[in-house]
């Protein structure tokens, strides 16, 4: 009897605590799951729609029998359109796009890394200095501060784009631990820690909506300039040919 009690006590003391899947926690929160699914679905829909349009053009020119041969070419066309569109995009929109890509990229990378550390998978390990665990919001804040200082000391469109990307990385690292900063407790893998995911996804959605809004407003501004309803921007020459053309 005593041996049985001793064995039971030993199991309770040395038994490894059960781990709860973070994905299970996310699924239990419908709002977080909806944000995550919506973000991925929108990004996938944009890429799929562009690819479908270009594939349709390829198959139309090659005929129905060329569908299989047109698929790889359409994929290359999609990449080419993205590269060309990036280079032709106004600087202010590229700044927001780089900010968004840096933010989402760092957020996704750090989530996968912390999950791998928690599951003892891969070469990833926690960073400790002097026995103190260094959370990733610390380098995130330092990167964001450094980006702000660099923005004050440099000028030029290329510099703005690069700084926007690094600022987005710093924001992603920091916002990923927003719940820890608000509660001053390590709640990363708890239900309270889902607040960080929600804040990050909402920030990404806001940046994406801002880019889309700027695109719409930019096109409207161009059309209003062409119609002569608003003054032409400083440094630009209105080359719109009046209608009807005098030579016609």
**pLDDT tens per residue across span 166-176:** 999 999 999 99
pLDDT of residue 10: 54
Nearest to 175 by CA among 223, 127, 137: 137
pLDDT of residue 223: 81
Nearest to 105 by CA among 196, 166, 150, 161: 166
pLDDT of residue 13: 45
pLDDT of residue 247: 42
Nearest to 136 by CA among 111, 99, 118, 168: 111
pLDDT of residue 16: 45
Could you give the CA distance from residue 95 to residue 157 in angstroms, rounded to a whole number? 9
Could you give the CA distance from residue 36 to residue 196 in angstroms, rounded to a whole number? 12
pLDDT of residue 31: 65
pLDDT < 50 regions, the chain: 12-18, 20, 239-248
Residue 248 Cα to chain centre, angstroms? 51
pLDDT of residue 164: 95
**pLDDT tens per residue across span 176-199:** 998 888 877 877 777 777 778 878
Nearest to 133 by CA among 114, 158, 150: 114
pLDDT of residue 119: 83
Residue 181 CB partners (closer than 8 Å, separation 6+)? 137, 174
In whole angstroms, how far apart are CA 153 and each of 1, 146, 167, 209? 76, 11, 15, 29
* Paired residues of 128 in beta bridges: 133
pLDDT of residue 71: 82
pLDDT of residue 23: 52
Q: Where are the alpha helices (DSSP H) in the chain?
A: 2-14, 22-28, 30-62, 67-88, 91-118, 137-153, 157-175, 178-183, 194-226
Could you give the CA distance from residue 161 to residue 97 in angstroms, rounded to a whole number? 9
pLDDT of residue 195: 77
Please state whether the predicted TM-score (pTM) of the whole model is above 0.75: no
Residue 98 CB partners (closer than 8 Å, separation 6+)? 161, 162, 164, 165, 168
Write out the two tokens for 219: 């096109």
């Amino acid at each position: 009897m005593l041996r049985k009690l001793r064995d039971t006590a030993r199991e309770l003391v040395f038994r490894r605590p059960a781990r709860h899947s973070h994905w299970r926690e996310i699924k239990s929160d419908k709002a977080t799951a909806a944000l995550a699914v919506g973000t991925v679905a929108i990004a996938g829909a944009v890429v799929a729609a562009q690819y479908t349009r270009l594939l349709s053009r390829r198959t139309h020119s090659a005929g129905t029998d060329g569908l299989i041969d047109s698929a790889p070419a359409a994929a290359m066309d999609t990449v080419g359109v993205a590269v060309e569109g990036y280079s032709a995009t106004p600087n202010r929109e590229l700044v927001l796009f780089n900010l968004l890509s840096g933010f989402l990229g760092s957020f996704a990378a750090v989530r996968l890394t912390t999950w791998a550390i928690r599951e003892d998978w891969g070469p990833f390990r926690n960073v400790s200095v002097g026995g103190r665990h260094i959370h990733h919001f610390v380098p995130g804040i330092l990167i964001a501060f450094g980006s702000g200082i660099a923005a004050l000391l440099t000028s030029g469109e290329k510099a703005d784009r690069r700084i926007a990307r690094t600022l987005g990385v710093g924001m992603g690292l920091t916002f990923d631990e927003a719940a820890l900063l608000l509660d001053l407790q390590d709640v990363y893998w708890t239900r309270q820690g889902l607040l960080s995911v929600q804040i990050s996804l909402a920030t990404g959605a806001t940046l994406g909506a801002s880019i889309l809004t700027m695109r719409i407003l930019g096109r409207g501004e161009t059309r209003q300039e062409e119609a002569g309803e608003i003054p032409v921007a400083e440094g630009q020459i209105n080359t719109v040919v009046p209608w009807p053309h005098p030579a016609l």
